[in-house]
Chains A and B, each alone.
Chain A
Amino acid sequence: KNEVEQSPQNLTAQEGEFITINCSYSVGISALHWLQQHPGGGIVSLFMLSSGKKKHGRLIATINIQEKHSSLHITASHPRDSAVYICAVSLVIYNQGGKLIFGQGTELSVKP
């Protein structure tokens, strides 16, 4: 069983829909990261959070440390949101140099 599990693996939505991507993890973490990988391949960091909730534009990320679960929400989705969304966790052990463990990604396609 992977230490970081994402669901769903694939998601197709209509423009304007509210989207939720889930991430569960089984290890002790110092932070959880949400990354976005566009079809061209580049990876950018969207959020890094260790508690509560963060918001940036139409994107919202939440984390529940007790339940070892995080969600990424996209409000009013748009075709330009089509990408692979990757959940990753930083281990709690400091001398691991901030190594990340990655989920397999969720491929999102938003249709006009």
Chain B
Amino acid sequence: NAGVTQTPKFRILKIGQSMTLQCAQDMNHNYMYWYRQDPGMGLKLIYYSVGAGITDKGEVPNGYNVSRSTTEDFPLRLELAAPSQTSVYFCASSRVWDRSSYEQYFGPGTRLTVT
């Protein structure tokens, strides 16, 4: 299994440009998540999905959009990139094996710089 994969690994965007961060998992996990990690700060949840066709906002959703058309893929779209979106982005997925607890598997991250 490849686990959780993310592309690209690095990207530099100009202010106002748009891009899509790709995330895929091959573990048949229902739940998928997008986080951002800023220097010295904890991971913050951007959006999450509990299954294909179902998405919901996390703590910091502004400036982002997601879709989940398949179990495997969970792309994150940045519209009109701003310097405040410079960050490292992590995608994660989890397997529901217990109604009350979930272990999450993380992708390798995408380092995005907006200038």
Chain A interface residues (CB < 8 Å from chain B): 2, 4, 30-31, 33, 35, 41-45, 48, 50, 86, 88, 90, 92, 94, 97-100, 102-105
Contacts and interface: CB of A to CB of B under 8 A. Distances in A.
Contact of B42 (A33, A99, A102): A102
A92 B100 contact: yes
Interface residues of B, number: 28
A100 B45 contact: yes
A102 B41 CA distance: 9
Interface string B49-63: 010000010100000
Contacts of B101: 30-31, 48, 50, 90, 98
B96 A98 contact: yes
Contact of A42 (B33, B40, B106): B106
B50 A105 contact: no
B50 A97 contact: yes
Contact of B31 (A31, A98, A105): A98
B102 A90 contact: yes
Interface string B87-99: 0101010101001
Nearest to A98: B102
Interface in B60-115: 88, 90, 92, 94, 96, 99-106, 108-109, 111
A41 B104 contact: no
Contacts of B108: 41-42
Nearest to A49: B101
